[in-house]
C-alpha cells in the first residue's frame, strides 16, 4: 500500500499538466511527413516531466519492529526460504535455481504498421528517451520492441514472420519486470499470412475438402501442392509453406534471396516505413503486404498467398500477437491484464486521401465476416478482458485527422506514465525490502553461473565417467583428465557433477564446480581461489572463522588453511575444475596449480579433499606431469557409435529428425575432422536445424570450416555488416546486449545495410535483429558479469580464433571497431545509474591504447582521477592502470605521471576512497616517484616536524608511516627512522603490538635499520616481530615465515651466517607446507637458503637450492623476467666463487641482459652487474683493462643513483681498490679502500665479514707500499673477524685467503718458516673446502711451491 500511495501521488501530479507543458507538447501537424519537426522540446525538459525525472524513492523509516505477528512470520519464512536456497547453492547443488533478478522493462509494440506509424514513431522519438533516462537512474533498461525493423529477408522468404513476432512476445514477457505488451487497435485488421505449417492431417483434409473425387476446386489444390511441402525433419512431420522450393533443392550450405525478393523488399519498405500518404494508384494488397514478401515475374505470389490465407481463415498477425500477449490461456495465467497496455483508436471522419492508410476495405473472409468485423470483434474481446480484470485500457475517439495532435499527446503521456509507474513500483519495492538480498552476492552469482554451465546434454563415456565419479566420492588428491580441444572434457566433468548430486546431499559434502575462463572470477588463479574461498566460507562459516585468522591476506593462502581445517574436521570437499589451461597465460598459477590449490599428488594430499581437473595436452599438462606421483588420464576421441548416439540425443531434445543421408554427411564430416570432436558435432547439428528433409547439403569436414559456415549463414540471413560489427565487438572485448546495439548503431555501414530507405526515430539497430543473432549464437556464448554489466563472450577458444580470422584479420576493420568503441565510451557519462561508471573507466583506455591514440589516452589519464581511484580495492586494477601510463611514456613526453597524478587531489571525483593513500602509494609502488608521493602524503594535514602524534587520527599516523617508508626508499635514513619509530610507538599505544598496521610499520622500521647498517637494532626489532607473530598466528603461518626471513636477513647481514641459515630454512619449511614446491614464495625461500650456503662456502648445496629456485621461476615467469634474472645472477655468483668462471660469465651476461630489458639500464640491480662481471674478469686475470673499465663504471653509476653514505658505495669501492692494488696503483687503491673501510665501520661495524674484506685489501696495498707494520695490523684484524664468523677450524675459502695474506707478509719479512706454515694452512683449507681444480686451490698451491723453492 505504501508503494501504491507513493506512485499515485506522482500520477495525480501528472494528471493536471501546466500551461507550460501544453506549450512544450506542441506537434507541428502541417508537415506530418517531416518527423524531426514534430517535437519542439524534449520531454525531459518539459516542467512536469522534468519534475518526475528528479523523483527519488522516499527514505525508509527506522526499523522499529512490527506488531503484526503474521507479517513477522512471513518475513521469517521468506528469510529461511532464501537461506535454504543459498545453502543448497554453496553446497554444490546444481539443480537449485537462483531466483531471477531482472532489471529490464521490455515492451512489445503490437499493431498494424501503416496506420499506427505515427504513434510508434512518437513513442520511439519522444517517449523512449525519457523512459531510458528515468529508468537508467535506477539501473533499469527500457526496450520497446519494434517489429517494423529487424525481420530479415531470409526470415520472410522462409515464412518465419509470424513465428518471430510470437517469439518476441514471449521474450518480452520473460525478460520484463513490468509491462511487456502494448496492443494498439485501430480500423485495420492487418496482414493475414498463409499458415506457416500444416499437419499431415490438416493438409490431407484440405485436399479432400477442396478436391474430392470430382476435383471441384483445382486452384486451391494446385496452390497447396505448389507452396506446401512435406518436411519429415520436423517432429511430427508436417507440411511447410515455402515460396522458393527450387532454392531449397540447391546443393549448397548458402541460400540467397532472389532478385524478385529484393525488388519487392524495396517497394514494400518504401511504402510502410515512409510517412507520406500512399498514392491512389497503389493496390490494396500492397498496402497490407508483409515486410519483405517477394513477387514472382507474373506478380501472382501475393494473390495466391491471400487465396490460401482466406481459405484457412487465418487470423491476422496482429490478432495472433493479441492472443499470445493478452487473450491466450498462457498469457492470462501469467497475469497479462496487469502487465499489458491496451489502446483503441477510432477516427470518425477520414478524408479519401487517408482512407486506405487508416481503414480496411470491405473485403469478406471465408466465414463471411469482413475484415472490419474481425477487428471490431478483437476490440470487443480485448476491452472486455481488460475491464473485467482491472487492466489498463484507454479508448481514443478522434473526430478527424486534424485532431491527431492532441490525441498523440494524450496517448504518449499515458504510455509514458504507465511505464514510469512500473519503474517507481519496482524501485520502491526494491528499496523497502528489508531482507538481505542473498542472491545479489557476487559469490552466489558466480557459483550459479558455473552450475548453469553444467546443465549440458551428455551421452556415452560411461566407463570414464564412472571412474571419475568414484574418485570424487572416495579419492584423495587430484586426478587430471586431458585431451584435444573439443573432445568432450567439459561435458564429461559436467556429467560427473550431475551424477555427484545425490551423493553430496546424502553425505553432506561440498562440491566446488568451476569452468575456468567463463567469467572474470574464473580467469586467474587468485580470482578462482578467492571465489572458492567465499563459497567454502559460506558453506562452513564456523570452521572458516577459526581456520583463517584476520591477518592472512592472500586468498590462495586462506583457501589452503581452510581446506586443511575442513579435512581435519572430516568435512569432505570435492573440486571439479575444468580447463586449467584457460587461465590467463601470464598467470603464475596456470603452470603451478599447487600455488593456489591444495597438494595434488603424493603423501601430502589432504585425505578429505578430492580434486578432478582437465586440461589440454600442452604446457599445462607438462607442468602437472612433472609433479611426483601425478595421476593423469587421457580422454579418448569420440567413437563413431558415440557420435551417432549424441546426434540421436540432440535430435530428441530439439525435436528434429535428420534424414539418413543427412545424418551420414555429418558423420562423414565428423570422421574426416580427425579429432573426434564433440564440439564439431554440436556445431554441425545446430546448423542442421535449418535443413529441410529433401535438402542435399555439403557438410564441412573440420570444426573451423563448420564455424565459417555458421558465420556465413548469419551474414547471409542478417546482414554482413551487422553480423561483422556485433561479432567483432564481442570478440575484441566482451560487451553487453545494450552496448552491442549502440556500438552497431554507430557504424554507418551497418545502419545503411539495416535501414535501406527509412531509419527509425531513435536511429538504433532494431532490438529484434540483435536478439535474433544472439539467439542463434546462444549455444556458443557465455554470459560474464564484468564491471557490473552482463556481457557476452565466446565459451570456446576455437570460436574466438575463428572470429578473429574471419572478421578481424584486416587491420582497417580492427581499427574501425576500436574507434567505434572509443566513440561510444567517450560519450558515456562518468556517473551512470547513480554509480561510478567503471565500465567506461576500464574500456575507454583499453581501446585508446589499442588504437595507439596516445594524445587522447594521455588526456584521459591526466583528467580522469576516478580511473585510478576506482581501483583502490585491487592491485590488479592499479597495475593495469600503471601499464597505460608506462605505455604512454614510451611514445609521448607529456603528460607525466609524477606530475599529473598528484593533481588528482584537487580534481573532482566520485570515488569514495582516501585519495591521498591511493595516489601516494600508486606513485611510490609503481613508478618510484618518491618526491611526488611525498607531495601527496603531506596533504593529509601533516606536519613532519611534529614531535608527537597525539593529535593525529589513526589515518594520519598511517600516512606518516607511508612517508617514513618513502624516505627509506630515497635513502633519507635519519628522517625515515625518526618518522617510522614515532609511528610504531604511537600505533602500539593505540592498537597494540599485535595489530596489523602496527606489525606492518614494524617491518618497515626493521627494513630501514637494516639499510642503515644498524644490525643490532635490526636484530632487536626482528626478534620482536618474530615473537609477536609466533604468538599471534602460530608456528606455521605465512606471517611467521615473513618474520623468520626478516630475522634471517639481519643475521646474514650481520655476518652470523650459521644462525641465518636456520631461520632461512624455517621460512622454506613453512612456505613448502603452505604452497608446495612450485610457488613464488617457495622460490624466494629456496634462493635465500642457497645464498646462505654460498657465504658459508657450501657451494654444492648453494647450487642445489638456487637451481631449484630457478626452475620454479622459469615455470612461473619465464626467462625474460626480473625475478628470474635475480636467481640467474645468484647462480653466477656461486659459480664464480666455486671457480667455474666460464659458467659464471654466462650467467652474469644472461642476467645483465634480462635486467636491462626489464628494469632499464639505470636500475640499481642492473648497475650491480658492472661490478659482478668486473670482479670476475679480475679474478680470471685475463682482461684487467676491461675489468677496470667495468668496475669504474660500476662506482660511477652507483654514485649517481645512491647517496654517498649508502653501504652499496663501499661494495663498489672495495673491489676497485683490489684491482688498483694488483695493477700497482697503490695510492689510488689506498684512497678507495680507506673510504670503503670508513663507510663499512660506520655502517656495518668492526666485526662484520665485509669489513674484514676491506681490511684484507688494505693489508695487501700496504704490503705493496712496503709498509709492513700497517699491513700486519690490517691482516690481523681481517683474520680475527673471519675466525669469529667462519670458525677457526672451518675450511672456508675466505679464511684461507686471510692466511695467504699473512703468508705474504711473513715472506716479505723474510720469515720463510712462518710464511710456509700459513700457506700450508691456507692450501689445506682450499683442498678440503673447494672442488678439485678450483682456481683458489691452484693459486695457494702455486704460492706454496714458490715459497718452498725460494
Q: What is the mean pLDDT of residues 328-336?
A: 87
Over residues 657-661, the mean pLDDT reads: 93
Q: What is the pLDDT of residues 962-978, one digit of tens each?
A: 888 888 888 788 888 98
Phi, psi torsion values for 784, nearest 5 degrees:
-120, 135
User: Helix, strand, coil % (nearest 5) of the chain?
Assistant: 65, 10, 30
Question: Residue 1287: pLDDT above 80?
Answer: no
Helix H or strand E encompassing 906: none
pLDDT of residue 344: 96
- Mean predicted confidence (pLDDT) in 608-635: 92
Which residues, 6+ apart, have CB-to-CB distance to 1270 below 8 Å? 1258, 1259, 1262
Mean pLDDT of 1253-1275: 92
Q: What percent of the chain has pLDDT over 90?
A: 30
Given a cut of 70, whether residue 396 has pLDDT beyond it is: yes
Burial of residue 354 (CB within 10 Å: 0-12, 13-18, 19+) is middle
pLDDT for the residue numbered 16: 46
Q: What percent of the chain has pLDDT over 70?
A: 85
Q: What is the mean pLDDT of residues 790-795?
A: 82
- Radius of gyration, CA atoms only, the chain: 40
Q: Tens digit of pLDDT for each residue in 1054-1066?
A: 767 788 899 999 9
Which one is predicted more confidently, 171 or 612?
Answer: 612
Handedness of CA 930, 932, 937, 938 (dihedral sign): positive
Q: How far apart are CA 276 and CA 354, in angstroms?
A: 10
Residues in the chain: 1350
Check: CB of residue 1153 under 8 Å from CB of residue 1143: no
What is the average pLDDT value for the chain, to the nearest integer? 82
Q: How far apart are CA 82 and CA 96, in angstroms?
A: 11
pLDDT of residue 18: 43
The torsion of the CA quartet 980, 985, 989, 992, rounded to 10 degrees, works out to 80
CB 973 within 8 A of CB 979: no
Give the pLDDT confidence of 43-58 residue by residue, as tens digits. 988 888 999 988 988 8
**248-262, 746-760, 945-959: which is most confident:** 746-760
- Any idea of the CA torsion for 1178, 1179, 1180, 1185, to the nearest 10 degrees? 10
The pLDDT score that the predictor gives to residue 1033 is: 79
**Burial grade of 944 (CB within 10 A; 0-12, 13-18, 19 or more):** middle
Q: In this model, does residue 870 exceed pLDDT 70? A: yes
| 3-state class (DSSP) for residue 1089 | helix
> What per-residue confidence (pLDDT) applies to 948?
64
Taking the C-alpha atoms of residue 1282 and residue 1249, their distance in angstroms, rounded to an integer, is 6
Q: Which residues contact 239 (CB under 8 A, 6 or more apart)?
A: 197, 198, 199, 200, 202, 203, 228, 229, 230, 231
Gap between the Cα atoms of 1011 and 333, Å rounded? 77
Distance CA 738, CA 742 (A): 6
28-32, 429-433, 1221-1225: lowest mean pLDDT where?
Answer: 28-32
pLDDT at 363 over 80: no
Would you call the peptide bond into 801 cis, given omega within 30 degrees of 0 as the criterion?
Answer: no
What are the strands, taking DSSP E only, across 307-389? 340-349
3 has pLDDT over 60:
no
Q: Which of 330-344, 349-363, 715-729, 920-934 has the lowest mean pLDDT?
A: 349-363
Give the per-residue pLDDT at 520: 72
From CA 1229, how far away is CA 1218, in angstroms rounded? 7
Regarding beta strands 789-794 and 735-736, do their DSSP bridges make them parallel or antiparallel, or are they unpaired?
antiparallel
Amino acid at each position: 500500500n505504501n508503494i501504491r500511495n507513493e506512485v499515485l501521488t506522482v500520477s495525480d501530479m501528472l494528471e493536471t499538466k501546466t500551461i507550460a507543458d501544453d506549450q512544450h507538447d506542441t506537434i507541428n501537424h502541417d508537415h506530418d511527413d517531416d518527423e524531426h519537426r514534430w517535437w519542439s522540446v524534449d520531454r525531459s525538459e518539459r516542467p512536469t516531466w522534468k519534475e518526475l525525472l528528479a523523483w527519488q524513492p522516499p527514505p525508509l523509516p527506522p526499523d522499529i519492529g512490527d506488531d503484526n505477528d503474521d507479517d513477522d512470520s512471513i518475513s521469517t519464512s521468506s528469510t529461511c526460504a532464501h537461506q535454504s536456497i543459498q545453502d543448497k547453492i554453496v553446497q554444490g547443488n546444481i539443480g537449485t535455481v537462483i531466483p531471477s533478478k531482472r532489471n529490464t522493462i521490455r515492451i512489445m509494440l503490437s499493431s498494424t504498421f501503416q496506420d499506427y506509424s505515427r504513434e510508434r514513431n512518437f513513442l520511439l522519438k519522444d517517449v523512449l528517451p525519457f523512459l531510458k533516462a528515468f529508468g537508467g537512474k535506477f539501473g533499469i533498461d527500457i526496450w520497446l520492441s519494434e517489429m517494423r525493423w529487424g525481420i530479415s529477408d531470409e526470415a520472410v522468404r522462409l515464412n518465419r514472420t509470424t513465428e518471430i513476432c510470437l517469439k518476441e512476445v514471449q521474450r518480452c514477457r520473460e525478460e520484463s519486470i513490468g509491462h511487456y505488451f502494448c496492443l494498439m487497435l485501430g480500423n485495420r485488421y492487418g496482414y493475414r499470412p498463409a499458415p506457416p505449417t500444416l499437419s499431415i492431417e490438416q493438409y490431407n483434409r484440405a485436399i479432400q475438402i477442396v478436391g474430392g473425387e470430382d476435383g471441384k476446386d483445382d486452384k486451391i489444390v494446385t496452390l497447396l501442392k505448389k507452396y506446401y511441402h512435406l518436411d519429415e525433419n520436423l517432429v511430427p512431420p508436417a507440411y511447410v509453406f515455402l515460396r522458393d522450393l527450387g532454392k531449397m533443392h540447391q546443393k549448397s550450405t548458402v541460400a540467397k534471396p532472389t532478385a524478385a525478393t529484393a525488388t519487392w523488399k524495396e517497394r514494400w519498405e518504401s511504402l510502410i516505413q515512409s510517412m507520406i500518404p500512399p498514392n491512389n494508384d497503389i493496390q490494396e494488397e500492397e498496402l497490407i503486404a508483409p515486410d519483405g514478401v517477394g513477387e514472382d515475374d507474373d506478380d501472382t505470389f501475393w494473390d495466391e498467398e491471400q487465396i490460401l490465407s482466406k481459405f484457412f481463415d487465418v487470423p491476422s498477425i496482429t490478432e495472433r500477437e493479441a492472443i499470445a500477449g493478452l487473450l491466450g490461456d498462457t498469457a492470462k495465467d501469467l497475469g497479462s491484464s496487469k502487465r499489458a497496455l491496451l489502446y483503441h483508436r477510432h477516427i470518425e471522419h477520414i478524408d479519401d486521401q487517408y482512407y486506405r492508410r487508416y481503414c480496411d476495405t470491405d473485403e469478406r473472409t471465408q466465414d463471411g465476416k469482413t475484415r472490419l468485423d474481425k477487428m471490431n470483434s478483437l476490440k470487443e474481446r480485448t476491452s472486455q478482458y481488460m475491464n473485467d480484470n482491472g487492466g489498463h485500457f484507454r479508448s481514443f475517439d478522434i473526430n478527424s485527422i486534424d485532431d491527431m495532435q492532441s490525441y498523440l499527446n494524450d496517448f504518449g503521456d499515458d504510455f509514458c506514465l504507465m511505464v514510469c509507474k512500473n519503474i517507481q513500483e519496482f524501485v520502491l519495492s526494491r528499496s523497502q525490502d528489508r531482507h538481505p538480498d542473498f542472491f545479489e552476492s557476487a559469490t552466489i552469482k558466480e557459483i550459479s553461473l558455473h552450475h548453469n554451465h553444467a546443465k549440458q546434454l551428455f551421452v556415452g563415456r560411461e566407463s570414464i565417467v564412472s571412474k571419475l565419479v568414484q574418485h570424487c566420492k572416495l579419492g584423495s588428491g587430484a586426478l587430471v583428465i586431458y585431451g584435444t580441444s573439443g573432445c568432450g572434457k567439459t561435458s564429461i566433468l559436467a556429467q560427473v557433477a550431475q551424477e555427484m548430486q545425490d551423493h553430496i546431499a546424502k553425505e553432506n559434502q561440498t562440491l566446488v564446480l568451476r569452468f575456468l575462463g567463463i567469467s572474470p572470477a574464473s580467469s586467474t588463479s587468485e580470482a578462482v581461489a578467492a571465489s572458492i574461498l567465499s563459497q567454502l566460507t559460506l558453506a562452513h562459516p564456523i570452521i572458516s572463522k577459526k581456520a583463517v585468522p584476520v591477518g592472512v591476506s592472500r586468498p590462495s593462502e586462506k583457501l589452503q588453511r581452510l581446506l586443511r581445517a575442513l579435512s581435519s574436521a572430516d568435512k569432505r570437499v570435492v573440486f571439479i575444475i575444468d580447463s586449467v589451461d584457460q587461465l590467463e597465460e601470464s598467470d603464475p598459477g596456470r603452470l603451478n596449480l599447487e600455488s593456489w590449490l591444495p597438494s595434488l599428488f603424493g603423501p601430502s594430499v589432504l585425505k578429505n579433499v578430492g580434486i578432478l581437473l582437465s586440461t589440454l595436452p600442452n604446457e599445462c599438462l607438462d607442468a602437472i606431469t612433472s609433479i611426483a606421483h601425478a595421476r593423469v588420464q587421457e580422454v579418448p576421441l569420440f567413437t563413431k557409435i558415440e557420435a551417432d548416439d549424441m546426434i540421436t540425443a540432440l535430435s530428441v531434445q530439439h525435436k528434429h529428425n535428420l534424414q539418413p543421408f543427412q545424418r551420414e554427411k555429418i558423420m562423414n564430416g565428423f570422421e574426416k575432422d580427425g579429432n573426434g570432436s564433440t564440439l564439431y558435432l554440436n556445431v554441425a547439428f545446430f546448423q542442421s536445424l535449418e535443413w529441410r528433409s529433401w535438402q542435399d547439403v555439403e557438410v564441412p569436414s573440420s570444426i573451423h570450416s563448420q564455424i565459417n559456415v555458421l558465420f556465413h549463414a548469419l551474414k547471409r540471413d542478417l546482414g554482413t555488416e551487422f553480423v561483422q560489427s556485433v561479432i567483432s565487438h564481442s570478440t575484441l572485448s566482451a560487451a553487453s546486449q545494450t552496448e552491442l546495439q549502440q556500438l552497431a548503431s554507430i557504424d554507418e555501414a551497418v545502419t545503411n545495410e539495416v535501414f535501406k530507405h527509412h531509419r527509425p526515430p531513435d536511429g538504433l539497430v532494431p532490438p529484434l535483429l540483435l536478439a535474433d543473432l544472439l539467439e542463434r549464437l546462444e549455444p556458443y556464448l557465455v554470459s560474464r558479469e564484468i564491471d557490473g554489466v552482463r556481457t557476452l563472450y565466446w565459451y570456446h577458444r576455437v570460436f574466438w580464433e575463428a572470429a578473429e580470422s574471419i572478421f578481424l584479420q584486416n587491420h582497417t576493420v580492427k581499427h574501425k571497431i576500436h574507434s567505434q568503441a572509443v566513440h561510444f565510451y567517450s560519450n558515456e557519462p562518468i556517473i551512470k545509474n547513480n554509480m561510478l561508471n567503471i565500465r567506461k573507466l576500464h574500456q575507454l583506455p583499453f581501446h585508446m591504447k589499442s588504437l595507439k591514440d596516445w594524445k587522447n589516452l594521455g588526456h584521459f589519464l591526466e583528467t580522469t582521477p576516478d580511473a585510478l581511484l576506482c581501483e583502490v580495492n585491487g592491485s590488479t586494477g592499479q597495475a593495469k592502470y600503471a601499464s597505460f601510463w608506462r605505455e604512454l611514456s614510451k611514445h609521448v613526453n607529456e603528460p607525466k605521471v609524477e606530475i599529473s597524478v598528484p593533481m588528482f587531489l584537487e580534481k573532482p571525483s566520485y570515488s569514495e576512497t582516501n585519495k591521498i593513500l591511493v595516489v601516494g602509494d600508486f606513485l611510490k609502488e609503481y613508478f618510484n616517484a618518491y618526491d611526488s608521493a611525498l607531495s601527496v602524503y603531506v596533504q593529509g594535514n601533516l606536519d613532519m616536524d611534529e614531535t608527537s602524534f597525539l593529535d593525529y587520527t589513526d589515518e594520519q599516523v598511517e600516512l606518516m608511516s607511508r612517508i617514513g617508508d618513502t624516505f627509506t626508499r630515497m635513502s633519507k635514513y635519519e628522517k625515515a627512522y625518526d618518522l617510522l619509530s614515532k609511528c610504531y610507538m604511537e600505533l602500539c599505544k593505540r592498537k597494540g603490538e599485535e595489530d596489523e598496521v602496527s606489525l606492518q610499520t614494524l617491518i618497515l622500521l626493521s627494513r630501514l635499520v637494516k639499510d642503515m647498517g644498524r644490525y643490532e637494532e635490526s636484530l632487536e626489532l626482528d626478534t620482536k616481530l618474530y615473537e609477536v607473530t609466533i604468538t599471534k598466528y602460530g608456528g606455521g603461518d605465512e606471517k611467521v615465515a615473513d618474520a623468520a626471513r626478516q630475522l634471517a636477513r639481519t643475521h646474514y647481514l650481520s655476518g652470523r651466517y650459521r644462525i641465518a641459515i636456520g631461520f632461512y630454512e624455517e621460512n622454506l619449511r613453512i612456505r613448502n607446507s603452505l604452497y608446495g614446491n612450485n610457488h613464488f614464495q617457495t622460490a624466494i625461500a629456496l634462493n635465500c637458503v642457497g645464498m646462505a650456503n654460498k657465504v658459508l662456502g657450501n657451494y654444492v648445496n648453494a647450487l642445489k637450492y638456487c637451481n631449484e629456485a630457478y626452475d620454479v621461476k622459469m615455470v612461473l615467469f619465464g626467462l625474460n623476467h626480473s625475478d628470474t634474472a635475480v636467481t640467474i645472477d645468484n647462480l653466477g655468483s656461486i659459480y664464480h666463487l666455486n671457480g667455474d668462471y666460464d659458467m659464471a660469465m654466462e650467467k652474469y651476461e644472461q642476467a645483465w641482459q634480462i635486467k636491462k630489458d626489464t628494469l632499464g639500464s639505470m636500475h640499481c640491480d642492473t648497475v650491480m652487474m658492472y661490478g659482478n662481471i668486473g670482479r670476475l674478469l679480475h679474478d680470471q686475470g685475463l682482461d684487467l683493462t676491461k675489468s677496470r673499465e667495468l668496475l669504474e663504471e660500476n662506482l660511477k653509476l652507483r654514485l649517481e643513483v645512491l647517496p654517498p653514505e649508502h653501504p652499496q658505495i663501499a661494495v663498489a669501492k672495495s673491489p676497485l681498490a683490489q684491482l688498483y692494488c694488483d695493477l700497482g696503483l697503490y695510492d689510488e687503491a689506498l684512497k678507495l679502500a680507506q673510504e670503503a673501510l670508513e663507510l663499512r665501520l660506520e655502517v656495518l661495524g668492526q666485526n662484520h665479514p665485509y669489513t674484514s674484506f676491506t681490511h684484507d685489501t688494505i693489508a695487501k696495498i700496504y704490503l705493496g707500499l712496503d709498509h709492513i707494520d700497517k699491513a700486519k695490523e690490517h691482516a690481523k684484524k681481517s683474520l680475527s673477524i673471519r675466525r669469529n664468523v667462519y670458525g677457526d677450524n672451518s675450511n672456508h675459502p675466505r679464511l684461507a685467503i686471510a692466511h695467504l695474506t699473512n703468508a705474504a707478509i711473513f715472506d716479505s719479512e723474510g720469515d720463510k718458516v712462518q710464511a710456509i706454515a700459513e700457506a700450508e694452512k691456507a692450501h689445506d683449507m682450499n683442498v678440503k673446502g673447494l672442488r678439485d681444480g678450483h682456481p683458489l686451490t691452484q693459486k695457494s698451491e702455486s704460492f706454496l711451491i714458490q715459497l718452498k723453492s725460494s
